[in-house]
């Protein structure tokens, strides 16, 4: 039943993997994360580690199961060794110092050996079997952590692209407006109705905006390539993001985020260190079991054929031998080596437990810090949004005044610069808010 369940699980996993549409080019944030979880090589390696740990359990389990080995040897004794025997053995009248040269054995000898062993008791085996199962749990935890880290990376990169695109649209809007004003001002200058400095100043503004647009486009390409790398998509392939910044921001529920309870036992980092503690306890137990005896049973069957002719395939006579036995290995004295090893494992356990305590304090501190940083980022976002809206209104007013001849090009430029600066601060505030949200979610272990 266990093998059948494992087979079904494997089929489902392969099926889910095969269902990933590698030709897909348009992604929501959730779809991008799901795609990355199936294709990112770090996650794939983490899954392979889980699969490897399952094989490790079977490897350890098989140590306690019957072991059967067979070997066959066939020898041709080209020159049998000579043994000197006292001649008196065969002739009582022979002198004491007289020896006879004798050869024992046959020209050919063939032996077949079959040995079966069964471990009956071994403390190290029992503890090792437990440790292999905990090792699987550790690799599963590592997979979960890898997936969480990747989802956070994808979210940050995806949101950064949306911010860069929004900023690009603002720059394009400013370019369109500045081009219109510059065209009118240039025509007025050529007609003698405007000063050359006004047209020159607007030309500078337009060139600056055009350079900023090129920079924004290159930035989008760079961040997109990073996203494709994280998702394991060819850099030559074009992808589109279907979510928009407004939708992402509308999904940020401040009250819900701040009121989410924190359970340290569910945090993946704490689960990993707890598993490491469990493993270290088993390491200590394993060293203690070296003081216990090891008991195993064995059965040995031998078939031998000897003669001056090679008759293995021509009906020669085989001589059987069978041995059934019990082996008990009892450690008696090791000059304190085992005690030293046990002491070392106790020290390692103390270190792991200290690390666990420090991590517990650190995780609680991170949650408090992440909540405060999210509140600050949220306050800053609303403030920068108000500043952006206000500076946009001021710029539009100066644009209207400039067209009516009630404001200078310098005043218009200053208003535009202030608007672009507040836009930049606004987009930075958006990134800080989303980044703080993601960090808080990670600190909470979500």
- Contacts of 3 by beta carbon, 8 Å cutoff, 6+ apart: none
Percent of the chain with pLDDT over 70: 93
The predicted-structure confidence for 278-298, as pLDDT tens digits, reads as follows: 888 888 888 888 888 889 999
| pLDDT > 80? residue 187 | no
Total domains in the chain come to: 1
Neighbours of 106 (CB within 10 A): 14
Q: Would residue 8 count as lying in a domain?
A: no
Confidence of residue 95 (pLDDT cuts 50, 70, 90): confident
For range 311-336, the mean pLDDT = 85
Say if strands 82-86 and 67-76 run parallel, antiparallel, or are unpaired: unpaired
Q: Is the pLDDT of residue 342 over 90?
A: no
Check: CB of residue 331 under 8 Å from CB of residue 291: yes
Strands 26-27 and 240-241: parallel
Low-confidence winner among 182-191, 247-256, 323-332, 424-433 (lowest mean pLDDT): 182-191
* Lowest-confidence pick of 247-251, 267-271, 431-435: 247-251
Q: What value, to the nearest 5°, has the Cα angle with vertex 445 and ends 132 and 280? A: 30
Residue 409: exposure state from Cβ atoms within 10 A (0-12, 13-18, ≥19): buried
- Residue 74 placed within a domain: no
Question: What is the reported pTM?
Answer: 0.75
Question: Ranked by mean pLDDT, which of 13-17, 105-109, 183-187 comes out on top?
Answer: 105-109
pLDDT score, position 338: 82
Q: What six digits make up the tokens of 380?
A: 């800053």
> What CATH code is carried by the domain that includes residue 227?
1.20.1600.10
In a domain, 306, yes or no: no
Two tokens at 302? 């031998």
Residue 217 falls inside a structural domain: yes
Tokens 């025997």 correspond to: 85
Please give the distance of CA 234 from its chain centroid, rounded to a whole number.
21
**Longest pairwise C-alpha distance within the chain:** 151
Q: Is residue 308 part of a domain?
A: no
Q: At residue 115, does pLDDT exceed 90?
A: yes
pLDDT digits (tens, 9 = 90+) for 365-390: 988 888 898 889 889 989 998 998 89
Parallel/antiparallel/unpaired status of strands 67-76 and 108-121: antiparallel
DSSP assignment of 407-428: S-HHHHHHHHHHHHHHHHHHHH
CA separation for the pair 392, 384 (Å, rounded): 12
Q: CA torsion 392→397→403→409, rounded to 10°?
A: -70
Considering the domain boundaries, does residue 429 fall inside one?
Answer: yes
Taking the C-alpha atoms of residue 122 and residue 398, their distance in angstroms, rounded to an integer, is 88
Q: What is the pLDDT of residues 132-153, one digit of tens each?
A: 888 888 888 889 889 988 998 9
Tell me whether residue 384 is in a domain: yes
Residue 99 within a domain: no
Is residue 46 within 8 Å of 142, Cβ to Cβ? yes
Mean pLDDT for the chain overall: 84
Range(s) of the domain holding residue 56: 25-64+122-292+331-443
Read off φ and ψ for residue 319, nearest 5 degrees: -115, 110
Q: What is the pLDDT of residue 113?
A: 92
């Amino acid at each position: 039943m266990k093998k059948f369940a494992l087979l079904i699980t494997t089929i489902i996993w392969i099926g889910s993997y095969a269902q990933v549409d590698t030709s897909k080019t348009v992604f929501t944030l959730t779809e991008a994360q799901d795609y990355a979880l199936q294709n990112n090589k770090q996650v794939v390696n983490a899954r392979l580690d889980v699969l490897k740990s399952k094989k490790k359990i079977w490897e350890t389990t098989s140590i306690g199961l019957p072991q059967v080995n067979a070997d066959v040897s066939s020898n041709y004794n080209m020159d049998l060794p000579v043994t000197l025997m006292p001649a008196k053995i065969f002739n009582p009248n022979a002198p004491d110092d007289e020896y006879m040269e004798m050869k024992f054995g046959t020209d050919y000898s063939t032996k077949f050996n079959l040995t079966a062993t069964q471990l009956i008791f071994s403390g190290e085996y029992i503890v090792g079997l437990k440790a292999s199962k905990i090792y699987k749990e550790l690799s599963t935890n590592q997979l979960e952590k890898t997936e969480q880290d990747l989802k956070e990376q994808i979210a940050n990169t995806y949101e950064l692209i949306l911010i860069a695109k929004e900023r690009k649209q603002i720059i394009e809007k400013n370019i369109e407006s500045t081009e219109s004003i510059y065209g009118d001002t240039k025509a007025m200058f050529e007609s003698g109705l405007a000063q050359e400095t006004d047209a020159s100043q607007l030309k500078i503004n337009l060139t600056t905006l055009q350079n900023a647009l090129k920079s924004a486009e290159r930035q989008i390409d760079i961040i997109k390539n990073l996203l494709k790398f994280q998702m394991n998509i060819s850099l030559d392939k074009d992808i589109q993001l279907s979510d928009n910044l407004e939708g992402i921001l509308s999904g940020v529920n401040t009250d819900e985020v701040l009121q989410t309870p924190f359970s340290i036992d569910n945090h993946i980092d704490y689960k990993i260190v707890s598993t490491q503690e469990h493993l270290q306890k088993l390491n200590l137990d394993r060293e203690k079991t070296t003081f216990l005896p090891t008991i195993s049973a064995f059965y040995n069957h031998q078939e031998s054929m000897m003669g001056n002719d090679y008759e293995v395939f021509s009906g020669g006579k085989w001589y059987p031998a069978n041995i059934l036995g019990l082996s008990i290995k009892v450690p008696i004295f090791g000059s304190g080596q085992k005690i030293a090893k046990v002491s070392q494992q106790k020290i390692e356990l103390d270190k792991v437990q200290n690390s666990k305590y420090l991590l517990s304090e650190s995780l609680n501190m991170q949650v408090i810090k992440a909540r405060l940083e999210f509140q600050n980022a949220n306050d800053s976002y609303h403030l920068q949004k108000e500043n952006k809206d206000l500076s946009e209104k001021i710029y539009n007013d100066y644009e209207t005044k400039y067209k009516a001849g009630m404001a200078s090009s310098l005043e218009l430029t200053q208003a535009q610069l202030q608007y672009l600066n507040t836009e930049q601060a606004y987009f930075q505030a958006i990134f800080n808010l989303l980044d703080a949200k993601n960090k808080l979610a990670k600190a909470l272990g979500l």
